[in-house]
Structure 1
Amino acid sequence: MSMHGLQQYVAFAETARHGSFAAAARTLGTVPSALAKAVARLEVELGVRLFHRTTRQVTLTADGERLYAQCLRLLAEVEALKAQASGTRLEPAGTLRVDLPIFYGKHVVMPVLARLVQRCPDLRLDVRLQDGYVDLVQEGIDLAVRVGHLDDSSLVARPMDEQQLVLCASPPYLAAHGTPTDVAALVSHRAIAFRMPTSGRHRPWQFLEGSVAVEMAPPNVVARVNDGEGMVEAARLGLGLCQVPDYMAAAALARGELLEVLADRRPGPMPISVVHAGGRLLPARVRVALDALTALHTSGAVG
């Protein structure tokens, strides 16, 4: 591939990452028209349409999405080759784009990333906090933190932490409604349900009966909330029982504002992983972030 050809792929990849020629041009220090022409030439050479264009933004076609995934690996390898040729590992620089669950991202991951930026002054962060899953390649995300077992085999996952679900309620609620002693007794209780972001349905409550995993729909739902902190607050205010990750309720449990119910029926722990798109070589900014986050798992400093 000629240097001119490589520049066309860089122009395409940055435009795909930013969703506009103008934003990509600012990153590359050029003008939007130059990028548009480079991408147009690439489309002619490849014989495919890479973007759907509007006056305000560009979005990837199916062919563009496939090429973008390949370009990310190519550009990472070019960066690694430059580092190898100079005899050093490149210092982490540029923008690290991460997608994080809201509560866990704020309270666990953000402190790690903040220390990383303080240590690497040329590193910048683009943090997206949301509880739904996004397509890493399509959204140009370097790293994401995901809870649970992963179905996407195209992603590379590294263990970072684990979470347990706890069922809890406020002391006044339990005083008024009684403390359930088994799963069957929950049908008479009031529930605060989690509204799942993708389906809009209530997340089932999960338990272990002996060695058997069981699920049930939250009974008598008095409130449904799409945020874990909101669920904890609703339970603290006495609205009913809620089942949330242990780290979300830890402070309220420690203060006695919530009490755990059916602790001996907790479901098994779920893995928390840091994931990235597949590729043999990773940019320095991604490598150092992966090392920092997976170090928490090996040191037991999380959870």
Structure 2
Amino acid sequence: MGLERLTGLIAFARAASLGSYTAAARALSVSPSAISKSVQRLEQHFGLKLFTRTTRSLTLTPEGRDLFERAMRILHEVEGIDQAAVASRAEPSGTLKITAPLPIGLNILAPALPRFRERYPNVTLDLRLGDQYSDIIEQGIDVLIRVGQLSDSRLISRHLGPHRTGAFASPRYLERKGTPRHPSELSEHDCVNFRYQSSGQALRWTYNEGERSQEVIPEAGITIDLSDAVAATMAADGGIGITPNYVAAPYVLRGELVPVLPQLIMERFPITALWPESRRGSPNVKAFLAFLAEVFPSPAPWDQAVAAHMPGAD
């Protein structure tokens, strides 16, 4: 098989799995036109139409679906050869692709990456932030960090730490409006709420009342779909809101936010690292997973910072 045909198979497989030339180009770090031309040459070589194209999507033809399944078997074998070669090297080197939700990447991972590079200068880190990386094997991701667990038998997982959230407000806001003692008082306050980008649903604020779990969606004057923006709005005296401790902790340490309403402290889905079974022996992945144990210590410093400023703390 010639190099051009193998390149075409890679471009075709990425476009088929991701559903567009643009997404495939992003995953392979080339231009969309390069993906399109590679697929066209592959179609000309086989004399087959591989995609039904519309302005918005790509759909595999029956012939394209058959070729896709065969191509993926070949590419997985090639990937296995590559991983075996990587695993044979004693020192981590080459590119390590990581993906994480934006708030975790911004507040926890990105500040720690220079320390990893000091330790392993031959590793080039490629950090991709967002939740669009769902099939990490198809997208060539080495380590995925997520809140919660992905149910994929091809992946190995490791618990990194709890994902705790709490309610916060700025000292100036509380001086002006008073400090609530119970979630039932939220109707008397300005609130900043979070909206999930995936579903468009507003965050439900839950708390325990005796043995019963209570839930409230506050009447928010401001709703934002990014935790960091919620924290920034609260620090600008926007009202009371809920955000993860790792986002709020720097504001708390600077005196720009204080924790309120301990009833609203929640330990949501855990923060988890996942990686493909095929990367098990990779020195890069092994080194980064060991490093993550340092980045996510127990107890986490961001949880300790918030707890130390909780009302009633010594």
The residue aligned with 2:311 is: none
User: 1:12-23, aligned counterparts within 5 Å?
Assistant: 12-13=9-10, 16=13, 19-20=24-25
Whether the aligned pair in 2 keeps the contact of 1:113 and 1:289 (CA below 8 Å) is no
Look up the equivalent residue of 2:77 and give its one-letter code: L
Cα displacement string for residues 139-182 of structure 1 (whole angstroms, at most 9, x for unaligned residues) = 332222111x3243344321122221110112232233332222
Whether the aligned pair in 2 keeps the contact of 1:167 and 1:242 (CA below 8 Å) is yes
1:235 positional shift = 1.0
Whether the aligned pair in 1 keeps the contact of 2:107 and 2:247 (CA below 8 Å) is no
1:37 positional shift = 9.1
The residue aligned with 1:184 is: 184
Most deviating of 75-84 and 180-189? 75-84
Name the CA shift for 1:133/1:237 in 2 (closer, same or farther; >3 Å): same
Ranges in structure 1 where 5+ consecutive residues have no aligned partner: none
TM-score by length of 1: 0.73
The residue aligned with 1:120 is: 120
Whether the aligned pair in 2 keeps the contact of 1:77 and 1:282 (CA below 8 Å) is no
1:41 positional shift = 9.8
Aligned equivalents of 1:153, 1:229: Cα separation in 2: 29
The residue aligned with 1:198 is: 198
Aligned equivalents of 2:113, 2:224: Cα separation in 1: 28
Aligned equivalents of 2:107, 2:99: Cα separation in 1: 14
The residue aligned with 2:207 is: 207
Aligned equivalents of 2:259, 2:165: Cα separation in 1: 10
The residue aligned with 1:226 is: 225
Aligned-residue CA RMSD in angstroms? 4.2
Whether the aligned pair in 1 keeps the contact of 2:7 and 2:38 (CA below 8 Å) is no
Name the CA shift for 1:251/1:210 in 2 (closer, same or farther; >3 Å): farther
User: 1:156-195, aligned counterparts within 5 Å?
Assistant: 156-195=156-195
For 2:221, what is the secondary structure of its paired residue? strand
The residue aligned with 1:235 is: 234
Name the CA shift for 1:244/1:40 in 2 (closer, same or farther; >3 Å): same
TM-score by length of 2: 0.70
Whether the aligned pair in 1 keeps the contact of 2:8 and 2:41 (CA below 8 Å) is yes
The residue aligned with 2:17 is: none
Whether the aligned pair in 2 keeps the contact of 1:77 and 1:281 (CA below 8 Å) is no
Look up the equivalent residue of 1:186 and give its one-letter code: L
The residue aligned with 1:256 is: 255
Whether the aligned pair in 1 keeps the contact of 2:166 and 2:264 (CA below 8 Å) is no
Aligned equivalents of 1:184, 1:113: Cα separation in 2: 42
Identity value in percent = 26
The residue aligned with 1:79 is: 82
Name the CA shift for 1:38/1:117 in 2 (closer, same or farther; >3 Å): farther
Aligned equivalents of 1:103, 1:140: Cα separation in 2: 22
Look up the equivalent residue of 2:125 and give its one-letter code: L
For 1:136, what is the secondary structure of its paired residue? coil
Whether the aligned pair in 1 keeps the contact of 2:109 and 2:295 (CA below 8 Å) is no
The residue aligned with 2:309 is: none
Ranges in structure 2 where 5+ consecutive residues have no aligned partner: 15-22, 303-314
Whether the aligned pair in 2 keeps the contact of 1:101 and 1:145 (CA below 8 Å) is yes
Most deviating of 67-76 and 159-168? 67-76
Aligned equivalents of 2:267, 2:210: Cα separation in 1: 11
Q: Does 1:130 align with 2:127?
A: no
Whether the aligned pair in 2 keeps the contact of 1:296 and 1:302 (CA below 8 Å) is no
Aligned residues: 285
